[in-house]
Amino acid sequence: MRILYVITLAEKGGAQVHLLDLLRNFSRTAEVHLAVGERGFLTDEAARLGIPIHLIEGLVRPVNPAKDFLAARALVRLLRRIRPDLLHAHSSKAGQVGRLAARLAGVPAVYTVHGWAFADGVPLWRRCVALPAERLAAHWSRYMITVSDADRLLASRYRFPTDRMFVVHNGVPDVVQRAQVGRADLPPHIVMVARFAPQKDQALLLKALSRVNVPFTLSFVGEGETQREHRQLAHQLGMMDRVRFLGSRHDIADILADAQIFVLTSNWEGFPITILEAMRAGLPVIASDVGGVREAVLHGRTGYLVARGDVDALQRYLTTLLTDPQLREKLGNEARKTYEQRFTLDRMLDQTRRIYELIIS
**pLDDT tens track for 197-234:** 999 999 999 999 999 999 999 999 999 999 999 999 99
> How many residues would you count in the chain?
361
pLDDT of residue 63: 85
pTM of this structure: 0.91
Average confidence (pLDDT) over 256-273: 96
Q: What is the CATH number of domain 2-171+344-360?
A: 3.40.50.2000
Q: Which residues of 223-262 are buried (b: 16+ CB within 10 A; e: fewer)?
A: bbebbeebeebbeebeeeebbebeeeeeebbebbbbbbbb
**In this predicted model, what pLDDT tens digit does every residue of 81-104 receive, in sequence order?**
999 999 999 999 999 999 999 999
φ and ψ at residue 314, rounded to 5 degrees: -65, -45
Distance in angstroms (rounded) separating the CA atoms of residues 156 and 108: 22
Range 189-342 has CATH code 3.40.50.2000? yes
pLDDT of residue 361: 83
Distance in angstroms (rounded) separating the CA atoms of residues 180 and 166: 36
Specify burial of residue 79 (Cβ count, 10 A radius: 0-12, 13-18, 19+): buried
Distance in angstroms (rounded) separating the CA atoms of residues 171 and 18: 8
pLDDT of residue 180: 84
pLDDT of residue 182: 74
**In this predicted model, what pLDDT tens digit does every residue of 275-298 receive, in sequence order?**
999 999 999 999 999 999 999 999
Statement: residue 245 has pLDDT above 80: yes
| Sheet with 2-7, edge to edge strand ranges | 53-55, 31-36, 2-7, 86-90, 109-113, 143-146, 165-167
- The residues pairing with 53 across neighbouring beta strands, listed in sequence order, are 34
**In this predicted model, what pLDDT tens digit does every residue of 50-60 receive, in sequence order?**
999 999 999 99
Statement: residue 181 has pLDDT above 90: no
Residue of 142, 81, 79, 72 whose CA lies nearest to 111: 142
Average confidence (pLDDT) over 117-144: 92
Distance in angstroms (rounded) separating the CA atoms of residues 92 and 105: 20
- The residues pairing with 90 across neighbouring beta strands, listed in sequence order, are 7, 112
**In this predicted model, what pLDDT tens digit does every residue of 290-346 receive, in sequence order?**
999 999 999 999 999 999 999 999 999 999 999 999 999 999 999 999 999 999 999
**In this predicted model, what pLDDT tens digit does every residue of 28-56 receive, in sequence order?**
999 999 999 999 999 999 999 999 999 99
Element (H, E) at 253: helix 252-257
- The residues pairing with 263 across neighbouring beta strands, listed in sequence order, are 286
**Boundaries of CATH 3.40.50.2000 in the chain?**
2-171+344-360, 189-342
Provide CB contacts within 8 A for 201, sequence distance 6+: 265, 266, 267, 288, 309
Average confidence (pLDDT) over 135-154: 95
Asked if residue 288 lies in contact with residue 270, where contact means CB atoms within 8 angstroms, the answer is no
- The residues pairing with 191 across neighbouring beta strands, listed in sequence order, are 219, 262
Statement: residue 71 has pLDDT above 90: yes
- The residues pairing with 21 across neighbouring beta strands, listed in sequence order, are none
pLDDT of residue 185: 77
* DSSP 8-state class, residue 39: -
Distance in angstroms (rounded) separating the CA atoms of residues 286 and 24: 31
Q: pLDDT class for 184, splitting at 50, 70, 90? A: confident
State how far Cα 303 lies from the chain centre. Answer: 19
